[in-house]
Structure formats: structure tokens, C-alpha cells
Amino acid sequence: MRLKNNIFHVMLVAGICVAVPVTAQQSTPRNYLENAWKQAGGAAAFSQTDSWRRELKEQIAAQMEALPATVKQGLIADAEKAMKFAWPALTADLYLQYRDNGNRSNFEAVQGERRRVLAALIAGEMAEKKGRFIPQIGNGLWLILEESTWVLPAHVGVQKMGANLPDPAEEIIDLVAGETAVTLGWTQFLLREELDKFSVMINKRIDYELDRRIYTPYLQRNDYWWMGFKGGTVNNWNIWVNTNIMKTALLNLDDAAKRGAIIEKSVRSSDNFVNAYGADGGCDEGPSYWGHAGGKLIELLDNLNSASHQKLDFSKNDLMHAIGAYIYKMHVDNDRFVNFADASARSVPPPHDVYMYGKMYNDTLLSRFGAYLYRIEHPDMQIQKSSTIANFVYELLLAGEMRKTVAAAPYTDVNWLPDLQVLSLRARKGSPKGMFFAAQGGHNAESHNHNDVGNFVLYLDGQPAIIDVGVGTYTKQTFSKDRYKLWYMQSQWHNCPTINGVMQQDGRSFRASNVQFTRGKDGSSLGMDIATAYPATAGVISWKRNFNFAPQQQQLKISEDYELKEWKEPFRIHFMTALVADVSKPGKVVLKATAGNLVMTYDPALFTVQTETQPIDDPRLSNVWGNGVTRISLVPKQQKLKGSHTLTFRME
């Protein structure tokens, strides 16, 4: 099941919502965006916005007109269903559930449903062009405009009144406020004249609310944490919100001076996002979040390029190209991706974003990968309604090109990201067949961090064998001081050791050290010392973990050398799986998979093996793994302060 693109998140620290740090910002900011903006003449580069709007509207109309009649009928049928929709209320007690019991899903489901139904109605009206759906579109717009806030309960805690009902005296801009703004901007852009026939007050109210809730606070305030102007590092919030606000201004705002100021500020703020990336382009939030990180970046770059009539050109920028290429480097097969941190093991990045990277950087791997992902989402190869009108328009503009493009996943065999300290390897270049391996070093203060330094995953013919469980449904606890009380955040439920009964700890100082990747003729190896990921109470001097991947043998060897200060209790080396584990024969663990077996061998003189089932009742996890996962633990038979051992995983 695809992870839907409606994930919103903050970290609650001492009652204040802040971003979890991503990678360390560069000591000398690159400021690629602002430099390009200045070189293009600043606001003057966007003096032809009116002609850009006309061209864009003509392109959209032409693509809509070219749709097959059957596709249009499908969009119209979806809109007809939406005509019967009874718009749900957003009540005060529903909003306060997050504060009172930690539930964020109930409010988000109702709020999101309003916007999804509106998107279906707009797509149907664009297909039919008879005005039949305008009254119901007007109903949806009016209700959204009447919402006391567009900000999620989980995010409103940054207001001076804290986590409560929204304070009308203080405007907050969060992810959903930005998403709502661009939804209104697109609706007005596409249906301005039709809305005026229904009531001239709709467009007037859209302009008023966008100015009050978005444009004015965006220009007046520099203290929204996601802007990055007050120090610290930022995450996907930055580029997600900035891209949506810039797009809204380009589509909606007629005041050229104010529009220019918004573009300038979004450029300067977005540089804080780009500056935080290492040269490898790695996204420490994981592939599930790439669509709201690197994916939003390419949309912003496209906005700047097209609205300036190509005066801002980023097609030679290696870092931004690398941010795009990251997504295929983490691909396993089909909708399965490497899912360290809060990423899901199954998701589909926005195909249009991947394809846009391919176009901008003339990168065939990316453009074909975008076409590949498009076919996963659209097995019938036809456009359909989307959860947002923005995504619908992107698909409308690019679907024809993606359908004509050869669909292919790159299946690259060696991908080492030294800044992120993430490695992926596959046994057969250009194919999902055989063994796929990924591992990470890094630190335990990544965005959406799990305590998982030294963690790894193994797949056989694209199917999971040794897994990263991922994250459950978001609640108040997920981004609170109690985050690491959740079992799936803890190192003992990752493929990591528990030492003297102690798990890894969160924080930037808890990290891998002496990380080294070596690529050889017969295979590749990744070594690191993970002792520094554990607190002093673990009593560990060193724990050197080395992964050696031999593609010809379809084999992974893990060699470990450890030294402890003291022995409190036996350490445990954990491995997570969703497969049936046969541990009946000493020295061997057999995981039975569809593609064949994964056989783990260990020295039975050194270890006993234990298994434990962890039930799963969270739908976000059960949709991927079923009703439970199994933890396999190797427990030493001897009490030794120093030792070494080797574990072998082979596909058979």
C-alpha cells in the first residue's frame, strides 16, 4: 500500500514545536537559489508573470481537451459522486482531541476529506465545462474559507497560547496552511470566471483569506522555525511550505511588488533547506518523505525557471541533481524502498517530481524512473483524480510525456552516500533479482530519527527478508519527549545489538565512528564502530561492525569485534523479519521466502538463538507487515569482555 502524501510532523520539545535537525548545515552557505535570483535581475525576472499565467492556462486546457472521452467520463463520474457529499463539520472538540488524548488522525481525516472531495469536483468541472459542479465547489470553498484555521492541531502549539484552539490574534503557517493556500490558488486560477458567475464574493474571499492567513504573516514574520532565519537546521517543512506559498503567489497574487517580495523571501528561506544537504544529496528523512523534500524542491526550481521565462536555470547544479538521484538509489523494487527512520517500506514517490528531475537534468535514469513509478500508480495508463488539485494539474501536464517514456527502474548496484552514511548494494545491476542490501551509520538525531545506528536490511528478489519495521500511525507521543518509548523507535527492535541490557540513545553525539566504505573487485564492505551510539551505562569500549557484501555468492557477512568495560548481562544481537523463522537446527536460521530461503549461519558454540513475536495492531504497520513481526536474537554462551564473531547470510 502506498504511503499517502499527507504526512505532517513536528517534534515537541518543552512544549515548543521545533524541527528535528537534518544534516549539518554547510559552514559556508552555498545560497544557490538567492545567487541565481540576483543574477537573473531579482524581481525583474518575473515581470512577465501575466504571460506565464496565460501560457500555463492554455497548456492545461489543451491537455484536458486531449484526454480520451473515457477518461473525462471517469473524472465526471467521480465529481458526480462528490455532488452527494455531505460536508463534515470541524468541531472544537475534534480539534482538541490532539491536546486531550493525543489523537491526530480523526481531525486530519475530516479536514483532508474536504480537500480531496474539492479536488474531485474541480477535475470533473474541468472535464465537463458546463458549470454543473460549481455550486458544490462553492460549498467546499466556502467551508474551507470559514475554517477557523488551516493549521493542524498537532502544529498549532507554536502559538503563544500553546496547544489549544487556534488563537485568532496570531496567524500560524504550517504544512496544511501552505497546502490549503495552493489549493485555493489553483482553484481560483482554473475557475475564476465560473466562480464569479456563481458569486463574486468567492474570489474576493479567497484573496482576503490568502492575504490574511498567508501573504501578510509570511512577509512580516521571520520566526517561523521552518524558515530557518533564526538559526538551527530545517527539514522538509521548509521547502514544502515555501514552494506552496510561492506557487500560490504566482497563480493568484496580482500585486507585483508583494508577489516579488514573496518570491525573494521564499528563495532566501529555501536556501536554508538546500544548504543543509551534503554533497551526496541524501535525504535523512527517507524515501517516503522525499516527495515533500527533494520532490518539492524540483517543483520550486520549475516555478522559478518557468515563471522567469528561463532566466533562472539550475540545470547545471550538481547538488540539486544529486538530491533528485537519491530516490532511485534507495529503490529496492516496485513500491519497496529502503525505509530507515520514519519512512515506510512501501511507498511511491510522486512520479511527476521524479520525471521533472529527469527533464531538468537531462537524466534518462530519472525520467524513465518517473515513468516507471507512474505505471505503478496508473496500471491502466490513464489519468485519474488525485488527492490534491496541485498533483492533478502536474499529472495532467506531464502524464502524456510519461506514458511515451520508456519505463525503467535504474536498479543501480552500488550507491554510497558518504555524507548521509547510507549504502545500498544489489547483486545484479539492472535487475531486482538476487540479494539487495542496505545499511546505515549516521547519528541518532536525524530528522524522523529512530535509534538505529548500524541498522541494515536484506531483500531477496525484491521481497523483504531482514527488515526495518518503520513507524506506526502518528500520535502526540510520536513527536514528544516520550518518542523513544514507542517500541519501533528503539534499537532493540532494529537490526542492532543490545549491550549489557542497554539500547542506543537519541542525540547527535550518539553516532557511528570510523565509518569506511570500500569497493572491491569481488564485492564491497562497510565498516563502522557503533559503540558511540550507546550511553556510558552500556559499558562498551568498542563494537566494530563490518558488512561484507559478495554479489557473486549472493552473500552478506557481518563480522563484529567488541570490547566491553564490564559484563552486566549477555548482549543480544537482534534481527527483525516478517518471514517464518526456522531455528530448529543449531548454527542455522532459515527464513522461508517466496523467492527462496535466506539462511543465516552462526557459530553454535558461541551463541544460542531466541525468537519473539511482536504483534502489530497499527494499520500503518499491518498494511506492510501483517499481524506481527519476529525478532531473532543471538545470545552469547560465554561471558567475555572481548570477542569477535562472524554471521553469514546467504540466499539459497
How many helices and strands, by DSSP H and E, does the chain display? 19, 23
What's residue 468's pLDDT?
Answer: 97
CB 113 within 8 A of CB 88: yes
Residue 257 has pLDDT above 90, yes or no: yes
345-373 per-position pLDDT tens digit = 999 999 999 999 999 999 999 999 999 99
CA 287, CA 353: separation in Å to the nearest integer? 13
Q: Which of 99, 104, 178, 191 is nearest to 141 (CA)?
A: 191
Point out which residues pair with 422 in neighbouring strands: 417, 440
CB 451 within 8 A of CB 504: yes
Residue 22 has pLDDT above 80, yes or no: no
CA 319, CA 281: separation in Å to the nearest integer? 6
Residue 473 has pLDDT above 70, yes or no: yes
Please state, as a whole number, how many other Cβ atoms lie within 10 Å of the Cβ of residue 586: 12
pLDDT-derived band at 26 (thresholds 50, 70, 90) equals: low
Angle at 88 between CA 82 and CA 92, to 5 degrees: 160
The three-state secondary structure class of 178 is: helix
What's the whole-model pTM score?
Answer: 0.94
Residue 320 has pLDDT above 50, yes or no: yes
What's residue 15's pLDDT?
Answer: 31
Q: Which of 350, 330, 334, 349 is nearest to 468 (CA)?
A: 330
Its sign, for the CA torsion 253, 303, 337, 446, is negative
CB 516 within 8 A of CB 527: yes
Query: What residue spans in the chain does CATH classification 2.70.98.70 cover?
Result: 414-651
CB 561 within 8 A of CB 544: yes
pLDDT-derived band at 386 (thresholds 50, 70, 90) equals: confident
Residue 314 CA to chain centroid, in angstroms? 23
What's residue 382's pLDDT?
Answer: 82
Please state, as a whole number, how many other Cβ atoms lie within 10 Å of the Cβ of residue 421: 24
CA 213, CA 178: separation in Å to the nearest integer? 10
Q: Which residues contact 509 (CB under 8 A, 6 or more apart)?
A: 443, 532
Placement of cell 490532539 in the chain: 98
CA distances from 618 to 2, 105, 254, 451, 495 (A): 16, 12, 47, 20, 21
Q: Quick one: three-class SS letters along 240-281?
A: HHHHHHHHHHHHHCCCHHHHHHHHHHHHHHHHHHHHCCCCCC
CA 578, CA 622: separation in Å to the nearest integer? 11
State the average pLDDT over residues 537-541: 98
CA 380, CA 374: separation in Å to the nearest integer? 10
Please state, as a whole number, how many other Cβ atoms lie within 10 Å of the Cβ of residue 367: 24
Angle formed by the axes of helices 200-210 and 236-252, to 10°?
Answer: 140
Residue 3 has pLDDT above 80, yes or no: no
CA 200, CA 70: separation in Å to the nearest integer? 33
**Polymer length in residues for the chain:** 652
501-518 per-position pLDDT tens digit = 999 999 999 999 999 999
Grid coordinates standing for 73?
A: 467520463
CB 150 within 8 A of CB 219: no
372-381 per-position pLDDT tens digit = 999 999 988 8
**Helix, strand, coil % in the chain, rounded to nearest 5:** 40, 20, 40
Residue 13 has pLDDT above 70, yes or no: no
Sheet containing 607-615: which strands, arranged edge to edge? Answer: 497-498, 572-577, 628-636, 607-615
Residue 54 has pLDDT above 70, yes or no: yes
CA 213, CA 201: separation in Å to the nearest integer? 18
What's residue 27's pLDDT?
Answer: 59
Q: Which residues contact 628 (CB under 8 A, 6 or more apart)?
A: 613, 614, 615, 616
- As a whole number of Å, the end-to-end CA separation of the chain is 28
What's residue 12's pLDDT?
Answer: 32
φ and ψ of 246, to 5 deg: -60, -45
Assigned architecture for domain 414-651: Distorted Sandwich (2.70)
pLDDT-derived band at 231 (thresholds 50, 70, 90) equals: confident
